Amino acid sequence: MHSRRTVLTTAAGAVAACAAGAGPAVAAPVTGRRPAPDAAARDRLRRLIARMTPEEKVGQLFVMRVYGESATDPAPADVAANQKEIGVANAAELIAKYHVGGIIYFGWAHNTREPHQIAELSNGIQKAAAAQRVPVPVLISTDQEHGIVARVGAPATLFPGAMALGAGGSREDARTAGRIAGQELAAMGIRQDYAPDADVNVNPANPVIGVRSFGADPQAVARMVGGQVRGYQDGGVAACAKHFPGHGDTDTDSHVGLPYIHHTAEEWERLDAPPFKAAIAAGIDSIMTAHIVVPAFDASEDPATLSRPILTGLLRERLGYDGVVVTDSLGMEGVRKKYGDARVPVLALKAGVDQLLNPPDLSVAHGAVLTALRDGELSEHDLDAKLLRILLLKERRGLFDDPYTSRGEVDRVVGTRGHLAAADRIADRTTTLLRNDAGVLPLSRRRERRVLVVGVDPAAPSGTGGPPTTVLARALDELGFTATAQSTGMSPTSAQIDAAVAALGERDAVVVATYNVTAGSPQRKLVEALLATGKPVVQLAVRNPYDIAQLGVVKAALASYSWTDVELRAAARVIAGRRDPVGRLPVVIMRADVPDQALYQIGHGLSY
């Protein structure tokens, strides 16, 4: 697509957003940076591996989902789900039957209701692992990127996501956010976070990355990735840069299809490689693969997860990475389209993978790897090398010393006043003012005291303050306005648009929250109808910042890069004039009418 190529070229040469100052100091980390395992530790782990049966060794390669809030006594519905999908009743039985080396937490699997429950689940899992014939602690992981991807909700501290941090431009803020997040995850027994996202989002049409990326400038993204890796690992968890070799220039979602990246080797080196190099230089514990095809590096057109030229040739040999390589979820269609579920895990291991994440059918996957080992397709020598990398990671994260946590540790660390204040201070450096014609912003409590908040209400992480329009209205209320929320949804109907216009008639101004507006989106009609009233209209993009390209007549436009509470509160402070908008655009926004021309370049952002 020609417009995408223009974005790619423009972003590659753009100047990164200016740093926005140092982040606040935080308490000492829960686990902290640990020295690399010495020769004695390596020998001890090799002896541990030598005691394992083939079934136990294979089990250690898998990171699996499991339903329930408890390791031994989940709710009946979760027992039924586990029996249907895995053939066990609970996490303890999963460990006893398959000897899995890792478990991943999801909200939809009912693993992450609240911090004390999470800690108790983690302790139950580690207790089950300690009861095995060969006791090996479990590496518990989750996707806590913050922003739009957060499996653990409030009262844990929630930070701005990657693109918001990219708009703030402060590597120290990224490191601080990672350090606090790492401390809190470790206090709940989670010792691996599948973050940060190291993709460079040069394609505005990217349906799966977008604001999960720090931006479109490879060098700026690399600085933020390096800072966040150090933060997470200083905080006590293994960071995981994803999705290698780079998922930022695709218009296909690998959850439902198989994307192709058509970068040349030279383009990859310039655009995709810098963040992964920065992660490796920062000492990252793990790197996640992408279910994408990159013909420049593998003519077979196997997805990168199954590609030896990419994972061994490019990642291990060319970039010199010797840590753990974990697949993206093996339940995603991008990795299942070409081969069956029995071949995928074997091919991934042969390509250079160490950990196999969340296969759709663990029995099939475990059996296939065991058969490949017994038949000689996989060598025991290579398998032992993979196990050693995994066990060394667990050693670095302190799991062999003490895998447990406590309610007291949760109370001491998770969601503290200091951590929440740090999140608000960081968020105050992220909101970006894209347009402010005729000085619409900031709103005045004298002229525009009565404010209507309308727009989309996408689902927010658990434990947050409610729908985004409600959170934004409440925040404006607390700042001295009289604000009313009225959701109009992703695709407002004519009746909803008419109701919003009628509600505005009794008020002085309106804030409209938009979400990935397209040329044919009914959200455009909503904004146009509100503008026709002559009242001040403030448009706030609560996901990708590209909405303004489709809303050219808007006079005041902001980007918050997410709809989570911390970012909406920060946006409210900017709207009310309590904070100056200092965020700077980390991506290029192209014009909708002339797609080859930039509307706003990287680094754009207005101030009051």
Query: Which 8-state DSSP code applies to residue 24?
Result: P
Cα–Cα distance measured from residue 416 to residue 155, given in angstroms and rounded to the nearest whole number: 9
Angle (nearest 5°) at CA 286 between 395 and 295: 155
- Whether 526 and 546 have beta carbons less than 8 Å apart is answered as no
The amino acid that residue 386 corresponds to is: K
As given in the structure block, the two tokens for residue 9 are 């070229």
| Cβ neighbours, 10 Å, residue 390 | 23
Which residue is catalytic, options 116, 251, 253, 255? 255
Tokens describing residue 516:
């990935």
Helix ranges (H only) for 326-361 are: 333-336, 344-351
Q: How many CA atoms lie within 13 A of 261 on its CB side?
A: 37
CB-CB contact of 142 with 190 (8 Å): yes
Active-site residue identified among 328, 428, 457, 565: 328
Tokens of 447: 């002229």
Q: Which amino acid is at 20?
A: A
Residue 416 to residue 430: CA distance in whole angstroms:
22
- Does the active-site annotation cover 328? yes
Using CA of residue 9, residue 517, residue 148, residue 77, what is the dihedral sign?
negative
The DSSP 8-state label assigned to residue 465 in this structure reads: S
C-alpha 343/C-alpha 360 separation (Å) is 13
- Contacts of residue 478, Cβ cutoff 8 Å, sequence gap at least 6: none
Positions of E strands within 439-523: 450-455, 482-487, 509-514
Give Cα 241 to chain centroid, integer Å.
10
By residue count, the chain amounts to: 608
Which residues are part of the catalytic machinery? 255, 328
